[in-house]
Structure 1
Amino acid sequence: MTTERIAIVTGAARGIGAEVARRLASDGHAVAVLDLDEAACQKVVDGIVADGGAALAVGADVTDETAVSAAVGRVAEKLGDPTILVNNAGIIRDNLLFKMTADDWDSVLSVHLRGAFLMSREVQKYQTAQGWGRIVNLSSTSALGNRGQVNYSAAKAGMQGLTKTLALELGRFGVTANAIAPGFIATDMTAATAERIGMGFEEFKKANAAEIPVRRVGEPADIAHVVSFYVSEGAGFVSGQVIYVAGGPKD
């Protein structure tokens, strides 16, 4: 039986974040759907509510310390003290090193790492007070290195280091921290990558699927399933781990 908790999912207006929010709601949790544009979150919230769940749309820039504090405080006021946090917010600014600007580097590192740091620091107050918590950070197979993504690769590798340190620091308070490293997932972000390189999305997916052992690309639901496990009551002895959800092994 699932104990109802209050969850916050960042970058949840679409793609993986939206699917994670829907899955957590179907698991019986109340979910704050957080993204930069609050209006963009409403469709996800409306769907959850229509299915009998509880959800709240929250607009916040996860890189803004004041905005993060206000957003988490609002969740606590409207839904209850948050004890589940999924740090999914992210952007890409792909380019080869010699073409990459400092702004491309700073913006990607800021959204992924500063955002996850600020959100985790704010939510842990509620988790440690309750003696129970779950933090799930979204990494990527790009953490292992990927041409044209020196900023994104560094950010996603950093998410793994952040995760392991959170696990060490927060474990004594009943809080676990784990990461998921997706491979190719069919989302607006990967569709944008296909467009950038001048390839149709279906063709792009087919080409990538041919290189994946299970011979298909991933879907947001594949990631949501793993989040559901990580935040479950039964996963309380799993912490500081990274699961590569990529249709095959990764080095």
Structure 2
Amino acid sequence: MDLGLKGRVVMITGAGMGIGRETALTFAREGARVGIVDIHGDDAEETAAAIREAGGEAIASRCDLTNEEEVKASVGSILAKYGQINVLVNNAGISKDVTLLKMAEADWDLVMDVNVKGTFHCCRAVLPQMKDRKWGRIINLGSRSMFGNPGQTNYTASKMAIVGFSRALSLEQARNGITVNTVAPGFIETEGIKGLPTYPKLREIALSKNPVGFLGEPRDIANTVAFLASEQARYITGTTVFVTGGRFSS
């Protein structure tokens, strides 16, 4: 299937590593031009360099998504280079896991600021020029954790907020040819997850609860995001796509 992404300009947050990096590489293979945005500037540049070395087009910028001015600057750099942003992928997110009674207010605020406010900032910065062109795709990353995991009240709240935000925004922008959807990954074997000291136990638990009998990889999320960004998905908006191997419970 031709996704029709050749020549499109895609902005991806948190694309310096993990799911974001694989998503950026996937779009580049489809012929899209990619703006890599990450709070870790060196990681962002590594992803952009990998795309360019493979013959694609990409630029990188360091950005703290909780800072509206930095978001505007990153968006501005992509627009200055490519003249437009057709697809926005709000992938960046963090977790600060601890039970509620032990949770510092700062841990609540940081997770909500990065995961929710960062999405808000990026959408506000990108939407006007999408609206002018009467075409756009916004894909926000949620999580299976939206259904609740112990020790993740802040993260769960942020990901459930993303679903409601996406649904409301999809209704606001449908008349402008802009679709807004959420992709909710399950347990995905990123390099970051594999590097955790608890990884063997986490993997064992995830496998025991996964109906398909194997765990997801970054490409499973990247391929879903790329499809939702395509013209083939023009009639899909305001929905949440679960990429979990059939697992929903904690």
Structure 2 match to 1:240: 238
Structure 2 contact 210–247 (Cα < 8 Å) conserved: no
Verify: 1:125 aligned to 2:128, yes or no: yes
Question: Could you list the per-position Cα deviations for residues 187-230 of structure 1 after superposition, in whole angstroms to 9, with x for gaps in the alignment?
Answer: 244346x42xxx3x244323311210111111110000100110
TM-score (norm 1): 0.94
Verify: 1:94 aligned to 2:97, yes or no: yes
Structure 2 match to 1:29: 32
Structure 1 match to 2:58: 55
Superposed CA RMSD: 1.4
Q: Report % sequence identity.
A: 38
Among 163, 166, 190, the residue aligned to 1:187: 190
Would the alpha carbon gap of residues 137 and 102 (structure 1) be closer, same or farther in structure 2, given more than 3 Å must change? Answer: same
What letter matches 2:92 in structure 1? A
Distance 2:185 2:111 in 1: 17
Distance 2:35 2:204 in 1: 34
The number of residues matched between the two structures is 246
What letter matches 1:125 in structure 2? P
TM-score (norm 2): 0.95
Structure 1 contact 181–242 (Cα < 8 Å) conserved: yes
Distance 2:63 2:83 in 1: 18
Distance 1:12 1:112 in 2: 14
Verify: 1:205 aligned to 2:203, yes or no: yes
What letter matches 1:111 in structure 2? V
Specify every segment of 5 or more residues in structure 1 that has no aligned partner in the other structure, as ranges: none
Give, in angstroms, the shift of residue 249 of structure 1. Answer: 5.1
Verify: 1:20 aligned to 2:18, yes or no: no
Structure 2 match to 1:218: 216
Pairing of 1:133-172 with structure 2 (within 5 A)? 133-172=136-175
